[in-house]
A and B are shown apart, each in its own frame.
Chain A
């Protein structure tokens, strides 16, 4: 201990303390502050960049999920539309077929009716014509048959025979 005290030099102590304290302040101003602020700026920059990248990633994920949602929605919508369209189609088809059947039935019915009418008309016509023709024929035959008295007589007899049979 005494040796250490003996070794102690006041002059060296003064020099060392003064130079060292001056060095601290000089380095603080000219070196440590700029160096540390550069390092901090860089670290801050890296941190910001990383944060930004993370945020961008999150944004991307969000966008992606939003896209997917949208896609899903669109798909669902399409599905719904298709279903609806199919329903409408079916309805239309059903309706159309019903209408067509009805129409057809109606038409058929009308046709039947008209055919029936026509037929009746035709029948009436035919009957009339047949009657007319019959009369004509009859008249002709009569004219022919009755052109001679003998024939007239035979006929008359015949009728009379027929009548008798009845």
Chain B
């Protein structure tokens, strides 16, 4: 484990965290605006978050 690897891993986590955070925040806003569509928004949110998470993990393990 070298310092660049750790820094890279940190960057990946920061990037993925920001991405998932944005998705979560937007989903919250959307649910607040349209509570009746909460189920659909939640599903879409999970899928989008899962995709980012997948990329994040892939990068983390490649690092």
Contacts and interface: CB of A to CB of B under 8 A. Distances in A.
* Co-assembled chains A and B: yes
Interface of A: 1, 4
Contacts of B3: none
A55 to B, nearest CB: 30
Interface in B32-63: 61-62
Contacts of B62: 1
B8 to A, nearest CB: 13
State the 3 A-B residue pairs at the shortest beta-carbon distance, nearest first: A1-B61, A1-B62, A4-B61
Contacts of A4: 61
Interface residues on B, range: under 10
Contacts of A1: 61-62
A144 B62 CA distance: 185
Nearest to B60: A1
B48 to A, nearest CB: 25
Nearest to A3: B61
A3 to B, nearest CB: 8
Nearest to A4: B61
A142 to B, nearest CB: 141
A4 B62 CA distance: 11
A8 to B, nearest CB: 13
A1 B62 CA distance: 6
3 contacts: A1-B61, A1-B62, A4-B61
Nearest to A2: B61
Contacts of B61: 1, 4
A4 B63 CA distance: 13
A35 B61 CA distance: 41
A107 B28 CA distance: 108
A4 to B, nearest CB: 6
A52 B61 CA distance: 59
A1 B61 CA distance: 5
B12 to A, nearest CB: 14
